[in-house]
Amino acid sequence: MKNNCFHREIILVLVLSLGCLLNLKAQQVDTLYIDSSFKKANLIEYSKINGSQPNNKYNYFYFSFKNELNSIDFNIKNLNDKPQNLLLEFSNALIKEISLLKFENGAFIEQNTTGIDYSISNKPIKHRLFAFKIRLQPLETGSYKLNLKKEKGKPLVTSVLIKSESLFNSQSSIQLILLGLYYGISLLSVCFSLFVFYILRNSSYLIYAIYIVFLGLFISSYTGLFSQLFLDESDLFNKYKHYVLFSEISLLLFVVFSQKILEAKTYMPNLKKVIDVLLIILISIRVLIHFFFTDFFEHYVSVFMNLWYSVFLTMVVLITIQIVLYFKTNFKRSSLFTIAYVFMISGVCLTILYHGYGLVNTIFYGLPFIFYSSFLEILFLTFTVILMVKDIYDDRNALSKKLVFEEKKNLYYFIKGEDQERKRISRELHDNIGSKLSYLKRFVEDNIENEAVNDAIDNICNDVRNLSHEISPSDLKLVGFKNAVSDLTTNLSSKTSLNVDFKNYQFPSKLSENTELQLYRVIQEVLNNILKHADAQHIDVQLIGHDDYATLTIEDDGRGFNIKTQEKGLGLKNIASRIQQIGGKLEIDSKINSGTSILITIPI
Amino acid sequence: MDNPPKKILICEDHQIVIDGLISIFNNQPDYNVLDFVKDGNKVLSTIKAKNPDILLLDLNLPNKNGLDILKDIKLHHPQIKVIVLTMYNKENIVKKVKQYNGDGFLLKNCSTEDLLRALDSVCESKIFYLGKGIKNDVVETDGFLEKIRITRREKEIISELMKGNNVPQIAKNLFISSHTVETHKKNIFKKLDIHNSIDLIKLVNEKQLFS
């Protein structure tokens, strides 16, 4: 059997090529022979179209703008001694009316009639595309006729395949998996862009989400899924019209979204205006043709469709120019968008060439090229959107980094200014007011000789001196850092109920003046904080010198705090900034109800 | 009076103090105020020009620290008597003035009597004159004479070390960073003058550090 079949094919090829060479007019159409190994065949090779031989060089049927009713005749012979079940599948899901007739008892008898003007229940089998069952008895030769009715004035393109039942089933399920994958990715992209829209409140992402939804609807109506799933028994809505509507809305959304992505409003406002006008022209032509002036346009469909195609092409060129211009602004986004755009445009252009002029075949593995191209388009557009979001977050991060840096810088200058001002006031108190008080005291002593006034002035002298010292340790170099810290702790112990214990273990004496001043102010600040917030009884302040670094430890037995949840107050930021300024390291370790330990390490 | 009056140079940046001092010395035949200097940097040059016997020196002069001025004077003009006249009543400053061979230490709010006594004293003897009411019991806080005090956090770390735990384990147990533990550990070793955990265990057992 197989050998027979092989021979038959060789002979067929020879005859065909010979026919082509000699330009034979009397080309005989072959009968389709079916044996047990039969998988599929393209009907056009075995058919007569409208009663004459096909001179179609493509492997699909193309009926141009003019004629309305078309018929296809073919013969099939079953070589088997078993009955054969075959399926006749149309790749075009939007044919107005299809009838299958069989030659029986000297006349063609109608088997089934279906089409988009009929309800789904009229479909011979449940399938997204139109398909007919053909059953052949053992060794039977069947003569069939297909009558195709197309929309008035529009061309019709479809390939018709005859498949064995098993191949039909396996191919259908593979196609359904591919479609499922497409809608899975679409759904993810929609969810993602809606989420981004919710977070960022930028209409681009909402437009993108709606675009994917309508693109999905368009693909579903083009592949026949939509009418199978949603338009079950409804006759109210023409199934060809929803296809047109979805494609127009998708186109509109795509163009709007592309203008957003390319920031056309900012960078190329004039081009955007032209594109907007072209878009309105495109959509009005299509909507008018299909929804309002159907009868009038029917006579001039080819004219209007050609007009539509040329306007569309102009718009494609303009958007391409926009992309090229946008490369300068954002290379990465532009590149990704270009890839998506190329897929979209190639899908649409091939589909136009196929449906409008029958020039190229766009059906691969049972699904149209535009299905694959829009799949890849969505993939790359989603990448583009992800990149857009990343750009925004990068910008925000850079901004917040800058803010943190600015804040640190401001704090640094704030502290520096505060220190300078404190130093000035302290000096003023100590030197100027102190000196004047001394003079006053001596004057009172020598001239008035009043013990009480004298003591009062002495008291004021002491207060001024202490206050001056508290405000700023301007005399650290004179007094010595360790002595100053010792005085500070002693003072705190004597003034409050706190027990402050200061110890010094070989703390270096040769630290710079600034380091000593900052450390002193840190100790002051920490002790102040403990006094204000910690509710402590005992504080340890320890200075310890090592070979190449020194440490300052301040521990209290107060109520402690949670480092992770406690907001950094100005005091703590102040301390951190001072430590950073002298190149030290600050470690705070505190737990609720078990005190706080502050460990500062500074290089020597 | 057999001796000529002693020549005094006032190093002080507050006019009111200068005026007060001058008015005191106007009534004193033994002392004569040569001049006053307000800028720390000009003290030495004025000394060269005027050649005073006694210097009344404020420690807080603009541009140059009083202690540094004292050091320089005693280096180049050891014969000049220097009495420090300051607002600071601090033991260690007194100590430093002594160390740099100053001759006396007075508070600015001292009485006229105290001031004149100080001048007389430094002119007649080499004994350091300390004004009334000045603290002089210097407490040395440095070194290991000091009683060792272990803080609460350090005690926690010692007891962890005694259990034989290493730094990462201790950090985990005490919920602090390894670096913090390491620093505390080094501080403990430094304080106790030991070098490893074995010494620590010995020391704790011998001296019963926690008892």
Query: Reduced to 3 states, what is the DSSP secondary structure of residue B6?
Result: strand
pLDDT tens per residue, range A219-237: 998 888 887 777 655 555 5
Contact A430 B92 (CB under 8 A): no
What is the DSSP annotation of B85-153?
Answer: EES---HHHHHHHHHTT--EEEETT--HHHHHHHHHHHHH--SPEE-TT----PPP--STTSPP---HH
Nearest to B14 among A435, A478, A542 (CB): A435
Q: From A266, A394, A273, select the one nearest A328 (Cα to Cα).
A: A266
The C-alpha R_g of chain B, in whole angstroms, comes to: 27
Nearest to B180 among A438, A503, A587 (CB): A587
CB burial of residue B197 (10 Å; 0-12, 13-18, 19+): middle
Per the listing, tokens 């010198």 go with A545
What is the DSSP annotation of A544-585?
Answer: EE-SSEEEEEEEE-S----TTTS---HHHHHHHHHHHHTT-E
Written as one letter, the residue type at A554 is I
Contact B87 A465 (CB under 8 A): yes
Residues B193 and B99 in one domain: no
Q: Is residue B18 part of a domain?
A: yes
Check: CB of residue A112 under 8 Å from CB of residue A132.
yes
Residues B21 and B57 in one domain: yes
Residues B106 and B18 in one domain: yes
Residues B101 and B159 in one domain: no
Lowest mean pLDDT among A85-89, A124-128, A501-505, B130-134: B130-134
Nearest to A441 among B67, B109, B148 (CB): B109
| Mean pLDDT, range A269-283, rounded to an integer | 92
pLDDT given for residue A22 in this prediction:
45
B108/A contact by beta carbon, under 8 A: yes
Name which residue leads in pLDDT, B179 or A126: B179
For residue B93, the chain A residues in CB contact (below 8 A) are 478-479
Written as one letter, the residue type at B97 is V
Contact A445 B111 (CB under 8 A): yes
Query: Reduced to 3 states, what is the DSSP secondary structure of residue A345?
Result: helix
Q: How far apart are CA A190 and CA A205, in angstroms?
A: 9
Query: Reduced to 3 states, what is the DSSP secondary structure of residue A158?
Result: strand
In chain A, what are the domain boundaries? 1-30, 31-168, 170-396, 480-604
pLDDT given for residue A1 in this prediction:
38
Residues B22 and B118 in one domain: yes
Q: How many CB atoms lie within 10 A of CB B123?
A: 15
Q: Which domain holds residue B41?
A: 6-130
Residues B80 and B163 in one domain: no
Written as one letter, the residue type at A522 is V
Q: From A497, A474, A500, select the one nearest A489 (Cα to Cα).
A: A500
Q: Is residue B145 part of a domain?
A: no
Residues B76 and B173 in one domain: no
Buried b (16+ CB within 10 A) or exposed e, A170-207: ebbeebeebbeebbebbeebbebbbebbeeeeeebbbb
Residue of chain B with shortest Cα separation from A558? B152
pLDDT given for residue A311 in this prediction:
93
Which of residues 440 through 479 in chain A touch B, CB cutoff 8 A?
A: 441-443, 445-446, 457-458, 461, 465, 475, 477-479
User: How close B7 comes to chain A (CA, Å)?
Assistant: 22
Residue of chain B with shortest Cα separation from A591? B175
Would residue A146 be called left, alpha or beta, if left means φ above 0 and alpha means ψ between -120 and 50 degrees?
beta
Q: How far apart are CA B183 and CA B167, in angstroms?
A: 10
Contact B183 A587 (CB under 8 A): yes
Query: Domain count of chain B?
Result: 2
Residue of chain A with shortest Cα separation from B60? A431
Torsion angle in degrees (nearest 10) through CA of A179, A182, A183, A189 = 180
Residue of chain A with shortest Cα separation from B176? A589
Which of residues 528 through 587 in chain A touch B, CB cutoff 8 A?
A: 540, 542, 544-546, 551, 553, 555, 557, 585, 587
Q: How far apart are CA A598 and CA B142, in angstroms?
A: 22
User: How close A197 comes to chain B (CA, Å)?
Assistant: 42
Q: Is residue B87 part of a domain?
A: yes
User: How close B206 comes to chain A (CA, Å)?
Assistant: 22
A491/B contact by beta carbon, under 8 A: no
User: How close A412 comes to chain B (CA, Å)?
Assistant: 26
B60/A contact by beta carbon, under 8 A: yes
A54/B contact by beta carbon, under 8 A: no
| Mean pLDDT, range A358-374, rounded to an integer | 87
Q: From A475, A383, A396, select the one nearest A429 (Cα to Cα).
A: A475
Residues B47 and B122 in one domain: yes
| Mean pLDDT, range A319-323, rounded to an integer | 93
Residues B54 and B120 in one domain: yes
Residues B123 and B195 in one domain: no
Written as one letter, the residue type at B10 is I
Q: From B112, B92, B82, select the one nearest B9 (Cα to Cα).
A: B82
Q: What percent of chain A has pLDDT over 90?
A: 33
Buried b (16+ CB within 10 A) or exposed e, A22-36: eeeeeeebbebbbee
The CATH number of residue B165's host domain is 1.10.10.10
Nearest to A458 among B12, B109, B141 (CB): B109
Check: CB of residue A505 under 8 Å from CB of residue A542.
yes
Q: What is the pLDDT along chain B (211 residues), one digit of tens a residue?
A: 457 888 999 998 888 888 888 888 888 888 888 889 988 888 889 998 888 999 999 888 888 888 889 988 988 888 899 999 888 777 778 888 888 889 999 888 788 888 888 888 888 888 888 887 777 665 544 444 456 788 888 888 988 888 888 899 999 988 888 999 999 999 998 888 888 888 888 888 776 655 4
A424/B contact by beta carbon, under 8 A: no
Q: What single-letter DSSP state applies at residue B210?
A: T
Q: Report ipTM (2 d.p.).
A: 0.74
Q: How far apart are CA A206 and CA A213, in angstroms?
A: 11
Q: How far apart are CA A472 and CA B67, in angstroms?
A: 20
A402, pLDDT greater than 90: yes
User: How close B68 comes to chain A (CA, Å)?
Assistant: 10
Buried b (16+ CB within 10 A) or exposed e, A158-168: bbbbbbbeeeb
Look over chain A and give the mean of its residue pLDDT values, rounded to a whole number: 85
A423/B contact by beta carbon, under 8 A: no
Would residue A167 be called left, alpha or beta, if left means φ above 0 and alpha means ψ between -120 and 50 degrees?
alpha
Alpha-carbon separation of residue A542 from A176, A571, B178, B187 (angstroms): 76, 21, 20, 10
Q: From B152, B157, B150, select the one nearest B191 (Cα to Cα).
A: B150
For residue B107, the chain A residues in CB contact (below 8 A) are 438
Q: Is residue B182 part of a domain?
A: yes
Q: Is residue B91 part of a domain?
A: yes
User: How close B24 comes to chain A (CA, Å)?
Assistant: 10
Q: How far apart are CA B77 and CA B103, in angstroms?
A: 13
B209/A contact by beta carbon, under 8 A: no
Q: Which two tokens stand for residue A286?
A: 């299509």
DSSP H stretches of helix in A201-330: 203-222, 225-230, 239-261, 264-267, 269-287, 294-298, 301-326
User: How close B20 comes to chain A (CA, Å)?
Assistant: 6
Q: Which fold has domain A480-604?
A: Heat Shock Protein 90 (3.30.565)
Contact A555 B16 (CB under 8 A): no
Q: Which fold has domain A31-168?
A: Jelly Rolls (2.60.120)
Name which residue leads in pLDDT, B36 or A25: B36
The CATH number of residue B15's host domain is 3.40.50.2300
Check: CB of residue A570 under 8 Å from CB of residue A537.
no
Residues B36 and B69 in one domain: yes
| Mean pLDDT, range A391-399, rounded to an integer | 91
